[in-house]
Chains A and B, each alone.
Chain A
Amino acid sequence: MTATTPHASAATGTAARSPAPVPAGGSDPVPELVRRLDELAVAGGPFSAEALGALDAREGFPAEACRALDEFGLPRYYVPVEHGGALDDFSTVMRLLRAVSRVDLTVAAAHGKTYLGAVSTWIAGAPDRATWLGRRIAEGAVVSCALTERHHGSDLLAGEVTAREADGGAGWRVTGEKWLINNITRADLVTVLARTDPAGGPRGFSLFLVDKSRLTSEQLNPLPKVPTYGIRGADISGMEFHDVRVPSDALIGEAGRGVEIILKALHLTRTGCVAMSLGAGDHALSLAARFTTTATTDDGTSISELPHVRRELGAAMAGLLLAEATGLVAVRAVHALTAEMSVVSAVAKAYVPAQVDDLVARLLHSLGPYGLLDADGHGRFAKLERDHRIIGIFDGSSLVNRNALIDQFARLSRGYRTGRQDEEGLDEATDLGARLRPFDPRALSLLSGTGASVVAGLPAAVDRVHDLAVTEAASDRLATLAERLRRATDRLHEEMAAVRFPPRAVPGHAFELAERYELCFAAAAALHLWLRRRDGLDEAWLRGCLVTALTELGEPVGETEREDLDILADALLSARPGTVPSLLDSLEGTVR
């Protein structure tokens, strides 16, 4: 099963360009979903703040809202076109889930989970099983994915749920308990990771697609819903499997390949989680903009005119744009830089939720008690603050993802030093007008062969900014910021190269380096997007992103440079009510 090929030399050339970023499947479903969500958010509707707030207060599952998404046809976007669905562009699913998350994270987490439930079958299952599952999802089936267990957390290789081949080879028998699983009680189907070799190890586990509707209550025992800090209405529970007999075709891919399949599947779902964070960030900023423009100080001044509030809003806006740049490039990389997803997904999943948690905390600080009480009548800000905390934990916590980056430090620093990159893939991933190649799951790899083209391509991108500054197509200020980013990134890679550690003894400071790596990736993503923009676009947003990244990298940033953040605050405060400036608006020229 091992493929050995010489390293391909870095490909050159530009990606095929299409005039407009319309999904290959036809019309763009996102504006239609946004319209539908607006209709459903009117008083009494399933997406109204009062209905969702009331469900949250009594920890009730948002069933009506999920049903409305089913009626819209959202599940089709969880099923690849080759298996009968509408998924041919991961950036479309990301925008759809972001739109749902902008309204409510409990609904997004409950509905979007079906993709995680199904993805192992998409990338490793037999074609007829994938088609069958696609049909079930189109009919409304909820699919869950059961990896974790009560005593093992993120350590999948310690799993105790066991599957033994039934006598005579007629299927498998699954026994044990899975716990802290989103949707496992309400799901119709569950993908289960089970130990198939008593000795365990990376080849000792297999994945099974278990059809709950075919099982009796003696075989399955759902465990009580666990009360949670946020997404209180979600079905976070567990399941006991009592010698459950599943047919041979329940096995996903080959026996013993479960860990490999799920690690690759997580490259996709970790990237998808970004959608939920970006939606929550949009929601937080729009609530903050509304509150600060309507509330006044004692002498009648709008709060939004207070310099320190304006600066905080601008910094939060820059944080969201950096997170968005990372998310957009990461989701396009699923198609264009598939083999690098072990790095890209770890960066996206560690960085974007943390960045959004930070901006929510920053806004809460500025809004003071009003953020929790008066910003709106239904406690929406406080709810999203609680709801969003879980996103950093879903599908691998920030620690797990940073550890995955640290394991690749040696390769990443070598690749950066030599400039090793996939130029064609980088161009496609960072040019929002370029048509994305179809996603090929066979190109997923546990380890990125090239490293990370987004970061390795930074020095060339900075050179390009210097060239543009000569002809005044870029400001000297931008060129200075970009140059400082390059130097900080150079120094970081030298520090990464010096990290050496024995197995299971990752030094603490390596995690700090991983955080800085994420910032360099985010800033590089923003720079690449700006360089490949299609039309005249004010560079202030990019300067704001670089100022924020450099500040967080610990680089000195002057007051004049920080004034770019005020430009971003003005963009936020002058946006149409209920909307937040987005790179998609600027770069695609469309309203989300």
Chain B
Amino acid sequence: MPESDVEIHSAQSLVRWLTECVAMHLARPADTIDASVPLSDYGLDSVYALSVIAELEDHLDVSLDPAIMWDNPTIDALSKALAEELALNG
């Protein structure tokens, strides 16, 4: 897992972390993942997406509604939604 070394999570840092996380799950290089493409296009199905959320929760030390990934199906959208949530609750 990528290390958590930033206290403030910007959308940009989240995009980076999520891209690496997804790349690891899909066993492909991070630079082949396009953050604007729906994750389901990479074969990351809706149920599997929940285990990515579990890692994200542990990384950020927050609890999330796992369905956040269903409402924000790309890395870009998810990062933006997360950054907003974290700013609201931080």
Contact = CB atoms under 8 A, between A and B. Distances in A.
Interface of A: 1-7, 157, 201-203, 259-260, 404, 407-408, 410-411, 414, 445-447, 449, 502-504
A446 B61 contact: no
Nearest to A506: B48
Nearest to A8: B63
Interface stretch (B12-20, B29-37, B80-88): B80-88
Interface size class of B (residues with CB under 8 A): 20 to 34
A325 to B, nearest CB: 27
A150 B44 CA distance: 25
Contacts of A157: 46
B90 to A, nearest CB: 9
B27 A7 contact: no
Interface string B44-58: 111110110111011
Contacts of A201: 40, 46, 70, 73
A2 B46 contact: no
A4 B48 contact: no
A7 B51 CA distance: 17
Contact of B43 (A2, A446, A504): A504
Contacts of A447: 50-51, 53-54, 66
Contacts of B47: 404, 407
A3 B45 contact: no
B45 A203 contact: no
B26 interface: yes
Contacts of B61: 6-7
Contacts, number: 83
B56 to A, nearest CB: 11
B65 A2 contact: yes
Given A157-B46, A408-B54, A4 B86 contact: yes
B68 A414 contact: no
B51 A504 contact: no
Contacts of A449: 57, 63
B89 interface: yes
A225 B45 CA distance: 34
A3 B64 CA distance: 6
Contacts of B88: 4
A7 B63 contact: yes
Q: Which of A1, A4, A6 has the most CB of B within 10 A?
A: A4
